[in-house]
A = this chain, B = another copy of it.
Amino acid sequence: MNEIFQEISEREPAWLDGGGPQADCVVSSRVRLARNLRGHRFSHHASGAELAEIRHLLASRVLDRPSFAGGWSLELERCTSLQRKFLLERHLASPDLVNEFQHRGLLLSADLGRVAMVNEEDHLRLQVFHSGFNPTLACQDALGLDAELEEVLDFAFSDDLGYLTTCPTNVGTGFRLSVLVHLPGLILSKEIERILNSLRQLQFTVRGLYGEGSAVRGALFQISNLGTLGRSEETLTSDFYRHVGKVIHYETLARERLLEEDRLGLEDTVHRSLAVLQEARLLTSLEAFDRLSHVRMGISLGLLPGPGVGVLNRALLEMQNAHLQVRAGRPLEGRERSAARAELLRRLLA
């Protein structure tokens, strides 16, 4: 198991490379599809034996498909708690999957761009990730993957309702689009609450970095659609594109306005933050999130020559607690983590 995690931790997911559209404001776009197997009870009603059977079936069928060639299958109860936390930090697993890990599984494609959670709320939760703001590509990719899996799996489906899911909010398409957005401009201009509230009124949900109830760190937010019933994946995607596109537009305007109103103050903030990241010997996660956020904004505004957005995305991921410890191969105490984080960031941002 340790070797697998070593391998995963060293593989850089393509969706983090900063090469996608509007990567200055959007880290990644993700589509999740909820699916259940016909003829099996939903996860929370199934016995341990049935869950084990489902996991075995899904692991063998899914990993056999071209999309998952060379990928990995993980059984969550065989991971250490540190490894489970690592999967959460990497956005490969949900908080639910890693907290209630008995009989649960995770299937990963070789490029870490496709992920299947097994026996979470639904038997199968497929996820695809893409770089930047790219809901359309993520939607196409997810539907293609779904079709590929339907060749070998029989999903529970009703002609009236569509795909059947444990929670009624997912019935129909089981489709959820999310983006991980970086909104420092709206925070600094104090517009963030107003914008997020209007998104919520439009049936979007907005959360911190690690999903529901988690705190906002580094001005990073997850925005997802809420309802799916009665609307096609294409309609959901184009609605998402339009509404979230507006938020990105407002973020860009806020950054430009900040630059106009106080260029010197902004330059001071971003140069200081890059300098500290490049030179500190001890960095808490909280400080690192803030400073990486400043630098990410500074680069998008042309105030800093580098590093690239891809390096920053990687830094934001890898400087987290479980990542540092998986990389070190052992648990690290608070101050050791701060030292390891500072060392990693010095190296990445040199």
A278 vs B268: C-alpha distance in the bound complex, in angstroms?
11
Q: Return the chain B residue nearest A277 by Cβ.
A: B275
B-chain residues with CB within 8 Å of residue A271 when the two chains form the complex? 279-281
A280 vs B272: C-alpha distance in the bound complex, in angstroms?
5
Q: Give residues 83-116 of A contacting B (CB, 8 Å).
A: none
Q: Does A267 contact B (CB under 8 A)?
A: yes
Q: Does A264 contact B (CB under 8 A)?
A: yes
B-chain residues with CB within 8 Å of residue A280 when the two chains form the complex? 268, 271-272, 275
Interface flags, A242-266, vs B, CB<8A=1, else 0 = 0000000000000000000000110
Q: Does A282 contact B (CB under 8 A)?
A: yes
Q: Does A74 contact B (CB under 8 A)?
A: no
Q: Closest approach, in angstroms, between the C-beta of A259 and any C-beta of chain B?
A: 13
Interface flags, A273-299, vs B, CB<8A=1, else 0 = 011101111100000000000000000
Of the candidates B268, B278, B335, the one whose C-beta lies within 8 Å of that of A342 is: B268
Are A272 and B276 within 8 A (Cβ)? yes
A237 vs B267: C-alpha distance in the bound complex, in angstroms?
50
Q: Does A339 contact B (CB under 8 A)?
A: yes
Using CB atoms and an 8 Å cutoff, list the residues of chain A in contact with chain B. Answer: 264-265, 267-268, 271-272, 274-276, 278-282, 335, 339, 342
Q: A268-B281, A272-B279 are in contact. List 18 more A-B contacts (CB 8 A).
A: A264-B281, A264-B282, A264-B335, A264-B339, A265-B281, A265-B282, A268-B280, A268-B282, A268-B342, A271-B279, A271-B280, A271-B281, A272-B276, A274-B279, A275-B275, A275-B276, A275-B278, A276-B276
Q: List 22 A-B contacts (CB under 8 A).
A: A264-B281, A264-B282, A264-B335, A264-B339, A265-B281, A265-B282, A268-B280, A268-B281, A268-B282, A268-B342, A271-B279, A271-B280, A271-B281, A272-B276, A272-B279, A272-B280, A274-B279, A275-B275, A275-B276, A275-B278, A275-B279, A276-B276
